[in-house]
Structure 1
Amino acid sequence: MFFQHVYDKTLAQASYVVGCQAKGEAIVIDAQRDIDVYLTIAKQNNLKITHIAETHIHADFLAGSRELAAVTGAKLYLSDEGGADWQYEFNHIGLKHKDKIQVGNLTLEVLHTPGHTPESISFLLTDHPATEEPVMVFTGDFVFVGDIGRPDLLEKAAGIVGTQEKGAKQMFESIQRFAELPSFVQVWPAHGAGSACGKALGAVPSSTVGYEKHRNWAFQYANNEQGFIDYLLEGQPEPPKYFAMMKHLNKVNRPLLVEVPLHPRLTKEKFLTAYQHGVKVIDTRDKKAFEKGFIPGSINIQGNNAFATWMGWLINYQEQFILIADDDKIEELTRKLMRIGMDNMYGYFNGIEELGVPLNTAEVIDIDRFKIELNKPDTQLIDVRGVNEYNAGHIEGAKHLFVGTLPENLDRLDKEKPLLIHCQGGDRAAIAYSILKKYGFEDVKNYSAGMNEWLTKENRTVNN
């Protein structure tokens, strides 16, 4: 048997290539949208991709299953569970509980595992030349290492009211059935640490059924359904705004993008024309570079692992945007945007100094200046971290405005009074600073070191 785990660390998303080398056939499970990685793996290992499957209608990334099927001619296997409202709206081979997919000498049995979503399925793999016992289960967003999938996304991200309680009850039932699998079966989930699809995902890529039964919190509530439901729904992180769009695009018949697009490097003239006509400018440089000089009105979303997530939070899918980025970074950034279906890039520009536009600089302050500003009577102290972080402990007097929803909450701030902002370690505060400046807040100071320094260097306590 051939097996390869493909991991996108920017979205903490896992996909899998599993093949029968004797027959030269392979299946790809939960493919990302830039599909060349799977074509390369198949070619290098003398395999033909003949089957493509998904565990559910994903909310956190745009699946590349249809792109991969279009290029390879492979058959597309998707869940037909969950009822009429949870059906994929394009041609596929429908899967029900206990159905089987044959890939050469391998068998993948379908397990209906609702809870995270009503149509969620897992794939229980048996490698027949080796054993007639199952060896792996691909759980999607059902069981993670150390955690389980959240059932509140449909309500919080997609606006489908009344689904989280029902999903939590379904998850409790699915967990009981999962516990009956042999303890030695390997567990390969669709996400790892950093994903917003759970609240405590482990950092290692895989586990076993036996390990999860001992260490995963969900299996400690076997005789306490209400306690399970309460804990599962409590303290889940904010679902990024783009999740609702992913839920839609992964379900409907959409245009396909089978290659990584080549976005143009804009000339100075084209950039300035677009900029003057209000096209949004996203500066992907490191926050330190941004602080030293940035185009007025631009938003600093660093091109690191969190780039796509923050783009999904802050950029409307219908609006065009321009990236400020180095030539050698644009393909990587394009791939990150592809994976959440954000294709509306007008182009990119490199070298803001040559524009001739007067640049702004950011006012970043140290802890000594922060304490001085904190004691001024008119100062508005804003904590832009997540709500769970804020509730766990915050500086006295701080107002909570999560950076992901900051643009919709600017009316809660007074432009006539000074603003003092911080996050945990500086990245989110840099985004917030650029948003505030874009929307006309003049007196803004960024305590970039944030709670990391406040708690350690000063050994201070916080309110909760």
Structure 2
Amino acid sequence: MKVEQIYTGCLAQGAYYIESNGEAAIIDPLREVQPYIDMAKKRGAKIKYIFETHFHADFVSGHVDLAKKTGATIVYGPTKMKTGFEALIGEDGQIFELGEAKVKLIHTPGHTMESSCFLLIDEKGKEKAIFTGDTLFIGDVGRPDLAQHVIADLTEEKLAGYLFDSLRNKIMPLSDDLIVYPAHGAGSACGKNLSKETSDTLGNQKKTNYALNPNLTKEQFIKELLTGLTTPPSYFPKNVLMNIQGYESIDEVLEKGTKALSVNAFDVVANETSALILDTRSATDFAKGFIPNSINIGIDGSFAVWVGTLIPDIKQEILIVADKGREQEVVTRLARVGYDNAIGYLEGGFEAWKASGKEIDTIPTVSAEQLAEIRAKNPNINILDVRKASEYYSEHVIDAINAPLDYINDSMVLVDKKKTYYVHCAGGYRSMTFVSILKARGYENLVNVDGGFSAIKNSGKFKVSDYVCPTTML
């Protein structure tokens, strides 16, 4: 029997490959399914099942394409939802034969009503591992406030109560030596405080995970679970619906999105459509020159999450500017969160645009040392901190204004177009995204701080606050 975790850092998501005696199963596959098919083929195995722990919100699963290409059966836990594709709706306790191994479905409502875990039993009948989806993370559990965005009467309090019962009655009685394989790790918005570890024993989780504390009453559990939850990204409900109803084939999405457009063709499409120009190069390269009105979300970061947070319309047509050779990667990572309407990329990248003599724009940038010199001459300069409110209140430059990128429409209200602002985040990724979006909306007096708060603090030239308890947070 083989078990392999396939972890994708930018989504903090774990998919799983299980194999026994020539039969394989994939748990919570990503949108691009060819790697799973290739893995099984290389090992001489046939993919028999696609186990889905729930209707995912933070990414579009590859279940539909994988089933079409392999003939595998899609399996969900008990649900009244009608899917737009053929699926087996399993029962609590149902056993699925996989080669000489077995997989047991354990219905664990709470994160969502259909949420289920899959218990792996080896060829000798020993329970070896449990794939917990968003029911149980390492150090945390799944947030219970997502399903209500799709089904209104499923309140977060009601779901939190269901999750308490699922954990106490279905998970905690299991053996301590079980390996827990969750769907997400640190960085995911599906929980509050996930560990960087991506697996652990259930016994250790019983000792260290607050949610498995046997002394917590249901009321205490609900209060603890709901305290500190932030608003989930706006694309989550849209991804849920795609996962329930089905979607366009990834092959068609890639074919459409990786269409090479010459400089002139790119310019024509940009002017004749409502397409958004998305520049995925590094913040440093973008600052030196970019196509006017394009926005920067760098591919080498939490790209998909920021796309989903900052581009409100999941059906938005997108034109891509990318580093050479990374165009398909960009289209794939857009599709992972349901942005299927990339309509082409700039052939030759920004350098081709620049060489053609067409108009370009730049973002002024200063180092932390230069910012200190500017502030020494004018102590009243405006410093804009676009980190999350929790980061800001933990530690920030005295008198800096907090304008979180993840609430950019609210944050824009804090910016006066007539004034100059020096913008920073933690390291420079988010601040460039913030500046590019505002610049595209007519804000011309924004200066990016290279290296962000880290460079500012390390310069030793700024007074940094200790923790301040917030009264209000964006």
Q: Which residue of 1 aligns with 2:89?
A: 94
Mapped partners of 1:57, 1:101: distance in 2: 20
Q: Contact 1:26 / 1:103 at 8 angstroms: preserved in 2? A: yes
Q: Which residue of 2 aligns with 1:34?
A: 32
Superposed counterparts of 1:286-305, under 5 Å: 286-305=282-301
For the residue of structure 2 that corresponds to 1:26, the secondary structure is strand
1:64 Cα offset (Å): 0.7
Q: Contact 1:430 / 1:446 at 8 angstroms: preserved in 2? A: yes
**Normalized against structure 2, the TM-score is what?**
0.90
For the residue of structure 1 that corresponds to 2:186, the secondary structure is coil
RMSD: 2.3
Mapped partners of 2:16, 2:376: distance in 1: 50
Alignment-mate amino acid for residue 304 of structure 1: D
Runs (5+) with no aligned partner, structure 2:
469-474
Gap change, CA 1:389 and 1:374, over 3 Å in 2: farther
Q: Which residue of 2 aligns with 1:165?
A: 157
Mapped partners of 1:4, 1:260: distance in 2: 28
Mapped partners of 2:199, 2:120: distance in 1: 15
Higher mean alpha-carbon deviation, 91-100 vs 53-62, is at: 91-100
Mapped partners of 2:183, 2:325: distance in 1: 29
Q: Contact 2:405 / 2:411 at 8 angstroms: preserved in 1? A: no
Superposed counterparts of 1:289-328, under 5 Å: 289-315=285-311, 316-328=313-325
Identity of aligned residues (%): 34
Superposed counterparts of 1:61-460, under 5 Å: 61-81=59-79, 84=80, 86-127=81-122, 129=123, 131-155=124-148, 160=152, 163-177=155-169, 178-220=171-213, 222-258=215-251, 261-262=254-255, 263-277=258-272, 278-315=274-311, 316-349=313-346, 350=349, 351=351, 352-371=353-372, 372-373=374-375, 379-407=381-409, 409-458=411-460, 460=464
Mapped partners of 2:253, 2:342: distance in 1: 13
Q: Which residue of 1 aligns with 2:471?
A: none
Matched, 1:461 2:458: no
For the residue of structure 2 that corresponds to 1:250, the secondary structure is helix
Alignment-mate amino acid for residue 334 of structure 2: L
Q: Contact 2:54 / 2:76 at 8 angstroms: preserved in 1? A: yes
For the residue of structure 2 that corresponds to 1:328, the secondary structure is coil
Q: Contact 1:390 / 1:400 at 8 angstroms: preserved in 2? A: yes
Mapped partners of 1:406, 1:303: distance in 2: 20
Q: Contact 2:282 / 2:299 at 8 angstroms: preserved in 1? A: yes
1:63 Cα offset (Å): 0.6
1:241 Cα offset (Å): 2.2
1:114 Cα offset (Å): 1.6
1:416 Cα offset (Å): 1.6
Q: Which residue of 2 aligns with 1:60?
A: 58
1:381 Cα offset (Å): 3.6
Q: Contact 2:396 / 2:464 at 8 angstroms: preserved in 1? A: no
Mapped partners of 1:209, 1:173: distance in 2: 17
Aligned residue pair count: 456
Q: Contact 1:152 / 1:164 at 8 angstroms: preserved in 2? A: yes
1:453 Cα offset (Å): 2.9
Mapped partners of 1:402, 1:460: distance in 2: 18
Gap change, CA 1:319 and 1:203, over 3 Å in 2: same
What does the per-residue CA deviation read over 1:33-79, in whole Å, with 9 as the maximum and x for residues that have no partner? 11001101111111001111100000011011111111111112112
Mapped partners of 1:429, 1:341: distance in 2: 25
Mapped partners of 2:409, 2:356: distance in 1: 27
Q: Contact 1:111 / 1:123 at 8 angstroms: preserved in 2? A: yes
Higher mean alpha-carbon deviation, 446-455 vs 319-328, is at: 446-455
Gap change, CA 1:88 and 1:159, over 3 Å in 2: closer
What does the per-residue CA deviation read over 1:114-149, in whole Å, with 9 as the maximum and x for residues that have no partner? 22111100011111x3x3231110100111112211
1:13 Cα offset (Å): 1.0
For the residue of structure 2 that corresponds to 1:52, the secondary structure is strand
Mapped partners of 1:319, 1:354: distance in 2: 28
For the residue of structure 2 that corresponds to 1:251, the secondary structure is helix
1:431 Cα offset (Å): 0.2
1:30 Cα offset (Å): 0.7
For the residue of structure 2 that corresponds to 1:144, the secondary structure is coil
Mapped partners of 1:144, 1:463: distance in 2: 28
Alignment-mate amino acid for residue 335 of structure 1: T
**Normalized against structure 1, the TM-score is what?**
0.91
Mapped partners of 1:387, 1:96: distance in 2: 43
What does the per-residue CA deviation read over 1:98-119, in whole Å, with 9 as the maximum and x for residues that have no partner? 1221212221111111221111
Mapped partners of 2:270, 2:264: distance in 1: 10
Runs (5+) with no aligned partner, structure 1:
none
Matched, 1:46 2:48: no
What does the per-residue CA deviation read over 1:8-45, in whole Å, with 9 as the maximum and x for residues that have no partner? 22211111111212xx2111111111100110111111
